[in-house]
Every structure is written in C-alpha cells, then in structure tokens.
Amino acid sequence: MSDPTPKGRILIVDDEKLNRLLLSTNLKGSGYAVEEAVNGEDALEKVREQLFDIVLLDLIMPGIDGYEVLETMKSDSDLRHIPVIIVSAMDEMDSLVQCIELGATDYLFKPFDPVLLHARLNSSLSVKRLRDQEIAYTQQLEQQLELAGQAQRSMLPTMLPEPPGVSFAAIFEPARAVGGDFYDVFSLEGGKVGVLMADVSDKGMHAALFMGVSRALFARETAQSLDPVEVVTAVHLSLVGISSYSMFVTALYGILDPESRTFTFVRAGHDEPLLVRASGETKFMGGTGHALGMALGPPRFAAQTLTLDPGDSFIIYTDGVTDQKNPDREMFGRAQLEKRAISLRDQDADGLAQGIYHAVSAHRDGTDAFDDFTLLVMQAAK
Amino acid sequence: MSSPPIFDPAAIERLKATLGEEASILLPELIGEYLADLPNLVEQASTALDEQRTDDLRRLAHNMKSSSLTFGAMALAEAARLLELAAKEGTANPGLLAAVDAELPAARAALESAVEDLS
C-alpha cells in the first residue's frame, strides 16, 4: 500500500524514457509522489500548474533544453524557490558549473547511484522545507500587519466637523502597514471643536501599540475636560503610569471656539505648527511643553491662544512632512514648508493641504517615505 | 588512456538497487528494449550524418552514450561519446559512427549473458 502522505512531490524532466522510468520507479518505491515531463515545454507547463518540492532536470533535450527550463524557473518569482537538481552525464562538467551559477541547487551524474540520489534529495528537501516555513511565516506576519494597519486607520476620522466660519482639511499617508501618527478633529460641547495630532517615537508594531493606547487616553481625557493643559497632563501621567517602556509621543492638542475663532492649544514636544496670515505673514508657534510618556520630572505644559482672522490658516503636521528627504538626502525642511504655505495661502484649506502634499511628493522624487505623512489645515473663512 | 572494458557488471548491481523489488521483472525487459533499440538509433544516426544534421546526430549519440552507460556497455558508451563530441563541434564523422556500430555485437553478447545470469 502506498503511503498516503508522500515524502515529497518530485518532477522528473528527461526526454529519455529509460531515465524517467529508472528515477520514477525508484522514487515511487521510496514513498515520493512523482510526475514526469518529457521535454522542456512539458516541464514548464507542469511547474506552473502543480506544486513540486524538487525538480530533477536533464540538460540535453530537444526544443527547450534544461538550461532554458532552469533559467526560466529562476527568473520567475513563483518558481525560483523550487530546488532544481541537475541530472547529467559526467562529461558535462562545464555545463554543471553554468547550471550552479544559474541557480541549480545540486547535481547528480548519470547513471545515477540510488544512495547518492537520496542523499541529494534529502538535503534539498530540508532546505526547501525551511524556505517554505519562512515564506508561510512572512505571509502570516504581513497579514497581521495589514490587519493591524486596518485597525489603526479605523481610529482616524472619516469626516471632519464643519463648524461655521472655519474649515478643516487633512492628509494622512502611512509609510508602512502600521504607523505611529494619528490625528482627530471632533465636536465638543458648546459648539467647540477639539483638534489633535500626535506622533509616537519610533516605528513598527510596538509604536502602533503605543499609538493605540495614546489614542484611547486622549479619547477619555478630551471627554472629561475642556482645558487642553488638563487633557495633555492627564494623558502624560497615564502614559508614565502604565508604561515603563522608553517610548514617548509628541502631541498637539487644542480647542477651537468657532464663534471667536480662537484656538487654545498645548504643544507637547510636537513639531511647531505654522500660522499663515492672509497677509502672508507667518509664524512657527513654539510654547512650553514636552513629549508625553517619559517621566523627566513634574509635568510642564502651558497653553497658548491665537485668533484666526479671515483667511488665516493654521498648519499642524508631523515630522514626516518636514523631514522627508530627496534623492540627495536633503530634507524638505521648515523653510520650504513656510515658502509653499505663503504661495498657497489664497487656496481653501483643501487646496493648501494638497499643494503642500504635492510639493513634498515632488521633493521626495521616488525615494522611500521614511515616516508617516500627516498634515492638518485649519482655515478661517475669508 | 586505456580503452574501457566492453561491460561493467557494477552497472547491473546499481540497476538492481535502483529498481528494488521490481528489478527481477523490469530489468530483463529494459535490457531487451535497449538492445532492440540500438540498431534503430545507429540507423537514425546514419541518416542524420548523411544529411549533415549534426544537432540530431549529437542527440542520438548522446542517447546511445547515456543508455549504454546505464547498462554498463562501457566500450559502446565511449564510442558514442566520441561521436557526440564531434557532432557537438559540428562535425559529422562517418568513421566515428562506424566505430559505434562495431561495438554493438560485443555489447549485445555481454548483456544477453548478464540477463541469463539474472534468472
């Protein structure tokens, strides 16, 4: 009775019936599942249709020969991981060197010795199994990262509030599957609007977890207080209290009163937001405040208030905007951000955000995004 | 270099090990097929040689070499190897094919005797 779980699936490629018969009789008798291909065309068709653990490949065949089969397999991302063992005559040594260079795993001389055949198969199969495990593990990780990314993106607002006299526009583009930036714009009692942006130190899964926690803490605290200093202080103390891990988050949180067009905010170690007046006058807003989550002494946060006059814009962003490098490794920088904001200041909030995004993309010019890109524009109606 | 022996009995032992339980039935059949096919291969090679189809000549010689090595017909395999080598370089050499043909009777006799020993 044949073994229901074969030791491996092997494709024998040889135009000579005798060689195929010898190999397949031996391999079937040893518990392998065997398929035969009578020439190169047949072989390529079969490796594309079925899964094999190993290909035993003859070199000299009419039509598509063994070299071409090998070359085609190794240049195909779906097939290149299948080990190929060359089975050839001993006087074809030069060809074997060429095959190893092309990516063949091993070789066997004809007429083959059955003991050597099995030694070669076992060795190639172990390598293949490790590689298969690696691929499965990588796919699993990618899937988990994708799900984590989806969960993160679901924490971002889908619609921004539209208070009278003030408009908002936001652009968020994560650099990887999971990111460390987040923002939110949400309605508060009395017609007021909460505006939040934050950037977790570092990147990857641990940063994503820290982002989720920070996001939840802000949600809790903003529902309890209308004082930005209180909110930021409470989030900071909670983060210090729950995590001894050396991570931190920079944040900017403020409350807009659309009626008076005043915005009172705390900058907690976050990039300095840019105020662009309708006149073209600009100012990067500093202020007192450190990053959240690191116990470096008593909390020190102070609020500052600005008033938006008609046509003024306030630009909040993360360092993924200003620190984006071009192919010459030069950063986009604050000066360019300021210059672009001045030239785009007559646009509406959306046009201003898009204009800056396109300027950063043009600067990037095909290089990798090193960090998440998050940009929020708050603009007073003209 | 000394010329190879007509027949290498180790080849039959290797085939027995390769075929396992099926050797007693399969091996005599395979040797019979090989011996029956040899004159056809020589004839096809002769036509290819006449028509200067060196690629076909090379492949036919390669097949003869490969199967002869499998069954231990060493002198025949060597003659086929020389024919294959010449054809690979684009030469259709009638003398080399004649040398292959000349090895057939001895190879046949040795293998027929080996089959008798199997039973």
Which pTM was predicted? 0.65
Cα–Cα distance measured from residue B39 to residue A375, given in angstroms and rounded to the nearest whole number:
83
> Is the Cβ–Cβ distance between A278 and A352 less than 8 Å?
no
Residue A197's DSSP bridge partners are A183, A252
Residue B64 confidence (pLDDT): 95
Amino acid A160 reads L
Residue A183 pLDDT grade (very low, low, confident, very high; cuts 50, 70, 90)? very high
Report the complex ipTM.
Answer: 0.89
Q: Determine which of A22-36, A284-298, A341-355 has the lowest per-residue pLDDT on average.
A: A284-298
Question: What number is the average pLDDT over the span A205-210?
Answer: 86
For the segment A40-96, what is each residue's pLDDT rounded down to a tens digit? Answer: 999 999 999 999 999 999 998 888 999 999 999 999 999 999 999 999 887 777 888
Q: Chain B contact for A31, CB < 8 A? A: no
pLDDT (0 to 100) of residue A177 = 79
Q: Do B20 and A21 touch (CB under 8 A)?
A: no
Mean pLDDT over the full length of chain A: 92
CA dihedral sign of residues A26, A32, A33, A35: negative
Q: Summarize pLDDT for A93-121 with one digit per residue, the tens.
A: 788 888 999 999 999 999 999 999 999 99
Task: Give the total residue count for chain A.
Answer: 382
Alpha helices in chain A (DSSP H): 17-29, 40-49, 66-74, 93-102, 114-153, 205-222, 228-242, 319-322, 333-343, 349-364
Q: Which residues in chain A have their CB less than 8 angstroms from residue B21's CB?
A: 29
CA distance A40 to A56: 12
pLDDT at position A242: 81
Angle, helices A114-153/A205-222, rounded to nearest 10 degrees = 20
Res A309 pLDDT > 60:
yes
What are the phi and psi torsion angles at A146 (to 5°)?
-65, -45
Alpha carbon distance A313, A186 (integer Å): 18
Helix (H) or strand (E) holding A297: none
Q: Where are the alpha helices (DSSP H) in chain B?
A: 10-19, 23-50, 54-71, 74-88, 94-118
Put simply, whether A60 touches B (Cβ < 8 Å) is yes
The letter for the amino acid at A264 is T
* One-letter amino acid of A62: P
Using CA atoms, how far residue A212 sits from A2, A149, A177, A244, A249, in Å, is 54, 11, 15, 16, 11
Is the per-residue pLDDT at A213 higher than 60?
yes
The pLDDT value recorded for residue A367 is: 87
Measured in residues, chain B has a length of: 119
Contacts of A294 (CB under 8 A, 6+ apart): A240, A246, A248
**Are β-strands A33-37 and A9-13 bridged in parallel, bridged antiparallel, or unpaired?**
parallel
A22 touches chain B (CB under 8 A): yes
How distant is the Cα of A144 from the closest Cα of chain B, in angstroms? 47
What confidence score (pLDDT) does residue A68 get?
96
Q: Is B34 an interface residue toward A (CB < 8 Å)?
A: yes
Q: Is the pLDDT of residue A245 over 70?
A: no
Q: Is the pLDDT of residue A4 over 80?
A: no
The confidence score (pLDDT) of residue B1 equals 52
B30 vs A18: CB contact, 8 Å cut-off? yes
> What is the mean predicted confidence (pLDDT) over A159-183?
91
Distance CA B18, CA B83 (A): 29
pLDDT higher than 90, residue B52:
yes
Q: How confident is the model at residue A180 (pLDDT cuts 50, 70, 90)?
A: confident
pLDDT in tens, A249-269: 999 999 999 999 999 999 999
The 10s digit of each residue's pLDDT in B55-109 is 999 999 999 999 999 999 999 999 999 999 999 999 989 999 999 999 999 999 9
pLDDT at A179: 79
Report the chain B residue with the minimal C-alpha distance to residue A15: B63
Residue A296 sits at φ, ψ, to 5 deg, of -115, 30
Contact A111 B11 (CB under 8 A): yes
Q: What count of CB pairs under 8 Å joins A to B?
A: 51
Q: Note if the bond before A111 is cis, omega within 30 degrees.
A: yes
pLDDT value at A308 more than 90: yes
Reply yes or no on whether the pLDDT at A201 is more than 90.
no
Q: Residue A137: which residues within 8 A CB-CB, separation 6 or more?
A: none
- State how far the alpha carbon of B73 is from the alpha carbons of B11, B38, B67, in Å: 9, 12, 9
Residue A1 has pLDDT above 70, yes or no: no
Whether B11 has its CB under 8 Å from any CB of chain A: the answer is yes
The residue-averaged pLDDT of B41-54 equals: 96
